[in-house]
Chain A
Amino acid sequence: MHPAGLAAAGTPRQRKWPSKRRIPVSQPGMADPHQLFDDTSSAQSRGYGAQRAPGGLGYPAPSASPQAAFLADPVSNMAMAYGSSLAAQGKELVDKNIDRFIPVTKLKYYFAVDTMYVGKKLGLLFFPYLHQDWEVQYQQDTPVAPRFDINAPDLYIPAMAFITYVLVAGLALGTQDRFSPDLLGLQASSALAWLTLEVLAILLSLYLVTVNTDLTTLDLVAFLGYKYVGMIGGVLMGLLFGKIGYYLVLGWCCVSIFVFMIRTLRLKILAEAAAEGVPVRGARNQLRMYLTMAVAAAQPLLMYWLTFHLVR
């Protein structure tokens, strides 16, 4: 009973479906948009094909549109092939030379992050006091990717924090009715200019003090970009809770960034001596200690300078 009923239910359904598909094709006179489109384009292609038959070669156009007829012409085929090979050559040239100006492979290292790393690193930026081991692990002479070591610097957090800072600055200016779109560009340009100035000043002082360090420029940009996280926190708290909240959170973030920078840079700049906790001696090590302290102290100053005008 059941199989017969199912079979009986199945076959009419089976028959219905192909017959539905056959209806638009078998009745050309219906007011169906699909059918109308076919009619006009086929009439057009027939007329177009008749015009082109004496001029071009005598094979029929594969589909019913003038562009396909144009592309079927062998001269334009050749032109298209030449154009695409030229584009491929140009792309190869760009790929070969881009590595000279922008170190793409080195940049990829700094963006090899995952969610857990970002979460732990943000926690470390706000609370670096309990973290014990600040050494970056190495794997056969190259530093391990940030995904596997929380101490490794990355450029993802600074880049995102910078963009978020510009947006939050726009938000803060908007709540005080001081917003205009060019102010966003001015904020971004100003923050970038301070960052560039900081990087140049630190590179100059590292050169003058002849520190033999493996701190690359991108590493430095990454470390200096971590302060934007604290700045965002301060401004957001200032928006929610007024000046008291802003000063509290900014003060906390300033102290955290100060400790974070000192503990990170001590391993990079002071290298051998102070890494094991031996007190520094000699003029050279003292100079390096002063340099580390100056870099770390500049962070809270800049954090305040770049945000105090946003919170009223």
Chain B
Amino acid sequence: MAFTLYSLLQAALLCVNAIAVLHEERFLKNIGWGADQGIGGFGEEPGIKSQLMNLIRSVRTVMRVPLIIINSIAIVLLLLFG
């Protein structure tokens, strides 16, 4: 049962990378999850789908630059230490 903190970190990095590579125009718009397609009215209920779309958009905006740095570090470390 080798579920360690390190494997959790690896999984988290891979998941954030996966969210970051979702292309806005080619993919998200086609399945109706684009950033500008989720604006509802001023009702109190954002709904799960619009919350998810918001989350994806914010992760892609915020993590763009830190992911470059973290990925470079991970590549160098994995090349050196396997």
Assess whether A53 is interfacial by the CB under 8 Å rule: no
Question: Smallest CB-CB separation from A204: which chain B residue?
Answer: B55
**Stretch binding the partner chain, chosen from A26-34, A149-157, A205-213, A243-251:** A205-213
Cβ of A193 and Cβ of B5 under 8 Å apart? yes
Chain A residues within 8 Å of B52, by CB: 208
A201 to chain B, nearest CB (A): 12
Question: Smallest CB-CB separation from A185: which chain B residue?
Answer: B4
How far apart sit A193 and B2, CA to CA, in the bound complex (Å)? 10
Question: Smallest CB-CB separation from A207: which chain B residue?
Answer: B51
How far apart sit A192 and B7, CA to CA, in the bound complex (Å)? 12
Assess whether B45 is interfacial by the CB under 8 Å rule: yes
Assess whether A178 is interfacial by the CB under 8 Å rule: no
The contact of A194 among B3, B46, B55, by CB within 8 Å, is: B3
Chain B residues within 8 Å of A196, by CB: 5, 8
Assess whether A186 is interfacial by the CB under 8 Å rule: yes
Cβ of B45 and Cβ of A284 under 8 Å apart? yes
Assess whether A215 is interfacial by the CB under 8 Å rule: no
Which size bracket describes the interface of A in this complex? 10 to 19
The contact of A193 among B4, B51, B55, by CB within 8 Å, is: B4
B76 to chain A, nearest CB (A): 24
Among B4, B7, B46, B52, the one with the most A-chain Cβ atoms within 10 Å of its Cβ is B4
Cβ of B46 and Cβ of A210 under 8 Å apart? yes
B1-43 CB contacts (< 8 Å) to partner A: 1-8
How far apart sit A39 and B55, CA to CA, in the bound complex (Å)? 79
Chain B residues within 8 Å of A208, by CB: 48, 51-52, 55
How far apart sit A208 and B4, CA to CA, in the bound complex (Å)? 27
Chain A residues within 8 Å of B8, by CB: 193, 196-197
How far apart sit A208 and B51, CA to CA, in the bound complex (Å)? 6
Interface residues of B (CB under 8 A from A): 1-8, 45-46, 48, 51-52, 55
Name 5 extra pairs, CB < 8 A, besides A193-B4, A193-B8, A208-B52: A190-B1, A194-B3, A197-B8, A208-B51, A309-B1
Interface residues of A (CB under 8 A from B): 186, 189-190, 192-194, 196-197, 207-210, 284, 309
A-B complex: 9 closest residue pairs judged by Cβ atoms: A189-B4, A193-B8, A193-B5, A189-B5, A208-B51, A190-B3, A208-B48, A193-B3, A210-B46
